Amino acid sequence: MRYETRFCTHCATPLAPITLLEDSGEKERLRCAACGWTHWNNPAPVLAAIVEVDGRVLLARNALWPPKMFALITGFMEAGESPEEGITREVKEETNLDALSVTLVGAYEFIRMNQVIIAYHVRAEGEVRLSPELVDHRFYELDKLKCWPAGTGYALADWLRTRGHEPVFFTAEENAERRRGLD
């Protein structure tokens, strides 16, 4: 299900595409004709963790994903927390693992979902107990990891390079197979 902002958050008037002069020139955005409120549609910050436990990387499967699709631990930042606090919280909430160290990998676009992914390498310890939103997990040796051709896959590839591993990406056919049933 895809949600859209269709009404003004201040006065509940239906939004309309209205062009106004902004710093960079004329720009059409959804705006309220009654009170002038603008829906900026800014990307949401999403946190991602390359969780490493005893030299292996944990990938997990969301309950809504196909059986072959595993990925990094991700979640949205909460108001009032730093990205580092947020990814530490997400790792604990989703896996029950305790972060020992949190190191920035980089920021990655995920335009299709209107998100900016802030990726971290999280060295962690503990016993994995998945949250209800996750249904399975696997640990991978670094040389067995394959990267997917999207936001967090690029983060994983960049991190693997820092560890002396040239990343291997899923072929288009392999990626389509792992995503089968998702769209």
**What pLDDT digit, counting tens, does each position of 40-74 carry?**
999 999 999 999 999 999 999 999 998 889 999 99
Whether 2 shows a pLDDT value over 70: the answer reads no
What per-residue confidence (pLDDT) applies to 176?
87
pLDDT of residue 73: 98
Half-sphere exposure of 117 toward its Cβ, with a 13 Å CA cutoff?
23
Extract the tokens encoding 98. 């305790």
pLDDT tens per residue across span 22-40: 999 999 999 999 999 999 9
CA dihedral of residues 113, 115, 120, 121 (deg, nearest 10): 10
**Confidence (pLDDT) at 175:** 87
Average pLDDT on 144-171 reads 96
One DSSP character per residue, 58-86 reads EEEEETTS-TT--B-EEEEPPTT--HHHH
Task: Please determine, for residue 183, whether its predicted confidence score (pLDDT) is greater than 80.
Answer: no
How many whole angstroms separate alpha carbon 68 and alpha carbon 173?
13
Decide if pLDDT at 90 tops 90: yes
Terminal-to-terminal C-alpha distance of the chain: 11
Query: Does the pLDDT value for residue 180 go beyond 60?
Result: yes
CA distance 47 to 83: 7
Q: What digits encode the pLDDT tens for the residues 106-149?
A: 999 999 889 999 999 999 999 999 999 999 999 999 999 999 99
Cβ–Cβ under 8 Å, residues 56 and 138 = no
Residue 77 confidence (pLDDT) above 70: yes
DSSP states along 106-161: EEEEEGGGTEEEEEEEEEEES-----TTEEEEEEE-GGG--B-SSHHHHHHHHHHH
Q: Confidence band (pLDDT; 50, 70, 90) for 1?
A: very low
- The whole-number pLDDT of residue 147 equals 97
Q: Which two tokens stand for residue 47?
A: 């946190």
Nearest CA-CA partner of 32 in 17, 49, 48:
17
pLDDT at position 182 over 80? no
